[in-house]
Amino acid sequence: MIRRARIDDVKKIYAILQHFSAKELLLGRSLSSLYDQLRDFLVYEDPQQVEKRIIGVCALHVCWENLAEIRSLAVVEGEHGKGVGRELVRVCLEDMKELGLSKVFTLTYQPGFFEKLGFRKVDKSELPHKVWSDCIQCPKFPDCNEEAMVRDI
């Protein structure tokens, strides 16, 4: 059900992320950035569908020697509450262990979801300045109300 994203998934990932970006629930990504960061992405395919429709996406982006970000987590509407997001995050955390990373963060409008997965809220100032490179491109910058959350592995 969960697999690494492939080149033919990029436009589907883009459509999912744009849907939630339009609702101001996450930061949109350009097609160019998705192609550049394709190896960061996982997709969750609906096992009930013959055509294996993508119903969830998530990326694990390495930021620093011991720090990664879980970003672009989105589950299509109608599939929420079924554990898709939780499973995508779980696989990202497994990948972190394999890579030897010890800390992960996320910037989210859904802190309750991440708290259930062992993340804790932190002040954004505790994160390295390097993580703000995407934020500068956001129309809400610098008045973003996303919560910064971290988890030690």
* Residue 122: strand pairing partners: 148
- C-beta of residue 42 within 8 angstroms of C-beta of residue 3: yes
Mean pLDDT of 2-7: 97
Q: How does the average pLDDT of the chain come out, rounded?
A: 89
Whole-prediction pTM: 0.89
C-alpha to C-alpha distance for 140 and 127, rounded to whole angstroms: 18
φ, ψ at 132 (rounded to 5°): -85, 5
C-alpha to C-alpha distance for 88 and 42, rounded to whole angstroms: 7
Domain boundaries, the chain: 2-152
- Could you tell me which CATH number the domain at 2-152 has? 3.40.630.30
Per-residue pLDDT reduced to its tens digit, 108-122: 989 999 999 999 999
